[in-house]
Amino acid sequence: MRILVTSGGTSEKIDNVRSITNHATGTLGKVITEELLSKGESVTLVTTKSSVRPSSHSHLSIVEINDVANLIETLEPLVKTHDVLIHSMAVSDYTPVFMTDFEKVKNAEQLELFLEQKNTETKISSDSDYQVLFLKKTPKVISLVKQWNPSIRLIGFKLLVDVSKDELIETAKKSLVTNQADYILANDLSEITSLTHHAYLVSETEIYEADTKKEISQLIYERVIKNA
């Protein structure tokens, strides 16, 4: 089985020296990849520069990306040639459009015009006391996966912060439908420590629970890969 795993977090450039980064160490994707390799599976790992990585392995290929646009062009051909996508990467949901002084925004008649501007300077000046950054939504990468390959098995990830179990499961169920995912791994940032990682693996009909990254990786192997 050809398995595609994504890990780490994307970064969207503001200018040549600054960017907005989604925090993600890539640890969960690393643990999942190692579990799959240990079971004899082949893995293509799409990850980011700063994320942690598994040791090199004859059944492992690694592809590096940086931002959402780069992720989309990299992922499309890979999704079409793999059987499973385990999409644990934290993907930026907004990307910078234009950054300017607060005074200019305050004095503008039509704020919409800023949404069509671009910074031409390579390093935005830092003289004014306040600045304003306009951002636009990025394409939802996970929602493109089944358009690219309707028969791929898709495992999405949903990270919330400090919510109830019900809200976590409900959000996962919605994501299953919206993104035509087969499973959603739903977790809460407040329940992740260096030693533990509480999560639910949610499908349309089932809910499994795990308490560590190792358990999550075993659950994914048992439920999604082995019985596929």
Binding residues vs its own copies (CB under 8 A): 11, 14, 16-23, 50, 90, 92-94, 97, 102, 105-106, 111-112, 115, 122-123, 126, 128-137, 159-162, 189
The CA-atom distances, in angstroms, between 77 and each of 20, 36, 43, 70, 145 are 26, 22, 15, 12, 11
Min dist CB 109 to its own copies, Å, is: 11
Which residues lie below 8 Å from residue 181, measured CB to CB, with a gap of 6+?
142, 154, 155, 156, 175
Task: Mark 139-157 as b/e (b = at least 16 C-beta within 10 Å).
Answer: eebbeebbeebeebbbbbb
Residue 113 DSSP label:
G
Total Cβ atoms within 10 A of residue 176: 19
Min dist CB 120 to its own copies, Å, is: 12
Q: Are strands 42-48 and 11-13 parallel, antiparallel or unpaired?
A: unpaired
Min dist CB 227 to its own copies, Å, is: 32
Residue 162, strand partner residues: none
Question: Which of residues 91 and 155 has its CB atom nearest to its own copies in the complex?
Answer: 91
Task: Give dist(CA 88, CA 9) in Å, integer.
Answer: 9
Question: Which of residues 20 and 72 has its CB atom nearest to its own copies in the complex?
Answer: 20
Question: Which of residues 112 and 206 has its CB atom nearest to its own copies in the complex?
Answer: 112
Task: Give dist(CA 180, CA 153) in Å, integer.
Answer: 10
Task: Give dist(CA 17, CA 124) in Å, integer.
Answer: 9
Question: Which of residues 44 and 48 has its CB atom nearest to its own copies in the complex?
Answer: 48
Min dist CB 40 to its own copies, Å, is: 33
Min dist CB 180 to its own copies, Å, is: 19
Question: Which of residues 82 and 213 has its CB atom nearest to its own copies in the complex?
Answer: 213
Question: Which of residues 72 and 135 has its CB atom nearest to its own copies in the complex?
Answer: 135
Min dist CB 141 to its own copies, Å, is: 13
